[in-house]
Structure 1
Amino acid sequence: MTSTSFDVEKIRKDFPIFSRELPDGRPLVYLDSGNSSQKPNQVIDTMRDHLALHYSNVGRAMHVLGSESTEAYESARDKVAAFVGAGSRDEVIFTKNASEALNLVAYSFGNPANTDPRFTLGPGDEIVISEMEHHSNIVPWQLLVQRTGATLKWFGVTDEGRLDFDPAVITERTKIVSIAHQSNVLGTVNPVAAVAARAHEVGALVMLDASQSVPHHPVNMAELGADFVAFTGHKMVGPSGIGVLWGRTELLEAMPPFLGGGEMIEAVWMDHSTYAPIPHKFEAGTPPIVEAIGLGAAVDYLTEVGMEAIEAHERSLTAYALDALREVPSLRLIGPDSLDQRGGTLSFTLEGIHPHDVGQILDDQFGVAVRVGHHCARPLHLRFGIPATTRASFYLYNTTGEIDALVRGLHHVQKVFA
């Protein structure tokens, strides 16, 4: 099912976790990369090497270690900028995760410190999201509505798990549209170009939560049409504690700082301060130095494998899994049942069996790690009338044999509850 040029067994050898056994000698079948990905030796070794031999704070010390650490940290920014096609390295802001990146942008709207009309927000103004969003792309906007009196609106989701894109939802009162590039539950890849075109038509800004797309598909900021994009390191073979906000230069320059502290300042007096240029204006205090360097190593790794090759491998796995899951009786797939505009995330229910029971049996008896619950997308599950789903999510190191193990496990689960 996979291109002969993509050597998944060679890739798996880069990930030490796949060499371990679970209790009772069971092999690990890790199908939870949508939650967090595993890490290759190249990332682990880079972080260990920096901690052991080069560590110092960045942007402050003038000694050798300070210079080495700063150079490695800023080199990681260059790598990320190139990886996502940023127009400038200064458009890459390091955050601790995608949630912080989303909150950073939400903070700028309706903030009295920001007089730019694009960011002014009050009663009568509108924010548009969608029903398929992760809580990290819902709650910050709810908090913004509470602060400003603006109105929160959203696109619905079709029965097939597609964005129900009605251009009329975006009006002349809309100030920002914030949606997922790819759903963390449905696997759906949203029609970003059409949404962005409509938003820009009325002067609204566009933000994307790309946490589920940047690790899996070639993504180019210049081609997306968005104004802001958030993604996170731990889903793209990098460490946790590091995320990215990309934004258009002129917008980032117009925004006030999100946090105050060291390194984000230009000069400080007792009664006022001036701020450093972007990106440092948004990176207050000691940053996640080693985590950023680890993200740079993750970018190196993914670039060497090739994002087009990764996308093709996952597409092959997804096609195989869609066919295999159709053979499981009483399984209901929540999301698109074809490869059209979807990624390698498959969420489903088994009639009469709670997902928590499914996940526990898969783990205990088959070593299959999936995620169960509402996956931080409770409104989406409410829309489909279900409390939870079982989710299998694929990445570059997964194989068709692991999908076979999942299917065998699901058949066993049904026998247990028959």
Structure 2
Amino acid sequence: MSTTVAPPARRTAPADLAPDPVAAVTAPGRPADAPADSTAAAALATDSTVAALAAGSTAAAAGPLDVLGVPGQINLDYAATAPCARAAADAVAELLPWYGSVHRGAGALSRRSTLAYERSRERVGDFLGVRADDHVIFTRNTTDALNLLARALPAGTRVVTFGGEHHANLLPWPAGAVRLPVPGSPATAVRSLDAALRELRRGATEAVPILVAVTGASNVTGEVWPVAELALVAHRYGARIALDAAQLAPHAPVDLAALDVDYVAVSGHKLYAPFGIGVLAGRSDWLDAAPPYLAGGGATLAVGAATHDVRWTTGPARHEAGTPNLLGAVALAAVCQALEAADRTALHLHEQALLAHLRAGLAALPEVCELRTFAAEAPRVGIVSFVVAGRDSAEVAAELAQRWQIGLRDGLFCAHPLARRLLAEAASRNGRADLPATALRASIGLGTTRRHVDHLLAALATLTDAN
């Protein structure tokens, strides 16, 4: 199976900073390669909304993937929290008059709400390519989903992850988890995992459970990881693999079955559905055997008079005790449905063109240094982290917001080990001793236009000239 997002033909660019287009992750039988640059304009022209966005228009016809925002504010912080898509807002507005209890009532409102909740589960499962016997469990976000999985691990499970993960994929795992070094390339990641699993299996039986936990795309650099190859290695040694798709899913299709991963976690607020929802989807056996993530109503079959006389249900309800987040589930399902109906190739090409323009513009500023783990041309989604030499990143972010109404993220991006390493590597690679201790991150998505990117580049040019 090919890598998570395999690049098609190399794009022609004035510098090697322009990334290869990231092809969509697809199930067998779907087109896997995006068209080359010569066809990009034609692809964009077939989608009026995308074409209008590419031209920098703010008056594109409203559609399900139109995003809400505040006029005059330039949001380049999609990797933290994406704006609300029209599909999510409309779905919630339509359901609100019918809002009622889920699984707990006989009235029309309750029946309608229950149906909407379970249909949302099906639609999200379809979006993620789940298998027939997989569970789709609603959580609060990716962090919550991975903590749920950590609680559901069989006793004695060894967990293997990489040092480049978001804290959500570093901190929940039990003591004794193996943290592999940050690899310098996708191929190195595959070799490193193979060596680690071979060592773990040395002298151990196949009965010892192993879980490999990896990201699909870095929240710091946007670089795409070779998930399909890592899954192949994991299964070769009888291990399971969990995919943190929080940053990948908003930018490329994620098909759990096609990638052959065992679990996937996503966040609604990064998928244009900001109503406090997340998902853990995957193999049912560990989840049905584990104690409920939350103990309470909805997770039980029966509760006796004795203190611990409880029989727990199986299936997703086992880990969804209490009143569920109906509006969040409906909002996420609506966005998933809208994305499945959209021309993902056109959206992808538009994003990659903006990303290449952003990275080339940053590279042209002498005082700006980009952070990266892999080679400059490695496939990536619409995320770029960088520093301005001699300037505190928090001060730069504040100035961009106050003077130019540009919203970026500054800090270490809840990936402290990786961000600190990349800052040190950037200082060495660029021969600079004046880089700040934290970084800036610009991230793009459905509502981003070339005008937004140009505004950021012009503001940074003004700031660096002032130095």
Query: What's the TM-score bracket when you normalise by the shorter of the two chains?
Result: 0.7 to 0.9
1:203-227 Cα shifts (integer Å, max 9, x gaps):
2221111000111101111012211
Whether contact under 8 Å (1:319, 1:339) holds in the other structure is: no
Query: Which residue pairs with 1:35 in the alignment?
Result: 80
2:115 is the alignment partner of 1:80? no
Distance across 2 between alignment mates of 1:40 and 1:161: 36
What is the Cα deviation at residue 354 of structure 1?
1.4
The correspondence of residues 289-300 of structure 1 with structure 2, limited to 5 A, is: 289-300=326-337
Q: 2:439 aligns with which of 389, 402, 414?
A: 389
1:352-387 Cα shifts (integer Å, max 9, x gaps):
111112211111111111111101011112222363
Whether contact under 8 Å (2:220, 2:419) holds in the other structure is: no
Query: Which residue pairs with 1:287 in the alignment?
Result: 324
Distance across 1 between alignment mates of 2:447 and 2:232: 36
Q: Secondary structure at the match of 1:58?
A: coil
The correspondence of residues 255-334 of structure 1 with structure 2, limited to 5 A, is: 255-269=290-304, 270=306, 271-334=308-371
Whether contact under 8 Å (1:58, 1:73) holds in the other structure is: yes
Q: Secondary structure at the match of 1:50?
A: helix
Distance across 2 between alignment mates of 1:204 and 1:160: 19
Q: 1:207 aligns with which of 242, 254, 262?
A: 242
Distance across 2 between alignment mates of 1:100 and 1:397: 27
Whether contact under 8 Å (1:315, 1:339) holds in the other structure is: no
Distance across 2 between alignment mates of 1:190 and 1:16: 28
Whether contact under 8 Å (2:125, 2:136) holds in the other structure is: yes
Distance across 2 between alignment mates of 1:224 and 1:120: 27
The correspondence of residues 142-221 of structure 1 with structure 2, limited to 5 A, is: 144-145=174-175, 150-158=176-184, 163=189, 165-166=191-192, 167-170=194-197, 171-172=200-201, 175-221=210-256
Q: Secondary structure at the match of 2:336?
A: helix
Gaps of 5+ in 2: 1-39, 425-435
Distance across 2 between alignment mates of 1:135 and 1:151: 14
Distance across 2 between alignment mates of 1:348 and 1:84: 31
Q: What amino acid is the match of 2:147? A: N
Return 213-222 or 84-93, whichever deviates more: 84-93
Q: What amino acid is the match of 1:391? A: R
What is the Cα deviation at residue 228 of structure 1?
1.0
Distance across 2 between alignment mates of 1:347 and 1:281: 40
1:183-237 Cα shifts (integer Å, max 9, x gaps):
0001111111222222222222211110001111011110122111110001111
Whether contact under 8 Å (1:322, 1:338) holds in the other structure is: no
2:418 is the alignment partner of 1:380? yes
Query: Which residue pairs with 1:113 in the alignment?
Result: none
Q: Secondary structure at the match of 1:93?
A: strand
Query: Which residue pairs with 2:405 in the alignment?
Result: 367
2:237 is the alignment partner of 1:237? no
Q: Secondary structure at the match of 1:34?
A: coil
Query: Which residue pairs with 1:63 in the alignment?
Result: 107
* Percentage of pairs with the same residue: 31
Q: 1:350 aligns with which of 350, 370, 388?
A: 388
Query: Which residue pairs with 2:168 in the alignment?
Result: 136
Q: What amino acid is the match of 2:348? A: E
Change in Cα spacing, 1:341 to 1:194, as seen in structure 2 (3 Å) is same
Q: Secondary structure at the match of 1:140?
A: coil
Q: 1:48 aligns with which of 93, 97, 103?
A: 93
Residues paired across the two proteins, number: 392
Change in Cα spacing, 1:228 to 1:12, as seen in structure 2 (3 Å) is farther
Gaps of 5+ in 1: 22-26, 110-118
Return 253-262 or 392-401, whichever deviates more: 253-262
Whether contact under 8 Å (1:131, 1:154) holds in the other structure is: yes
Query: Which residue pairs with 2:148 in the alignment?
Result: 104
Return 349-358 or 369-378, whichever deviates more: 349-358
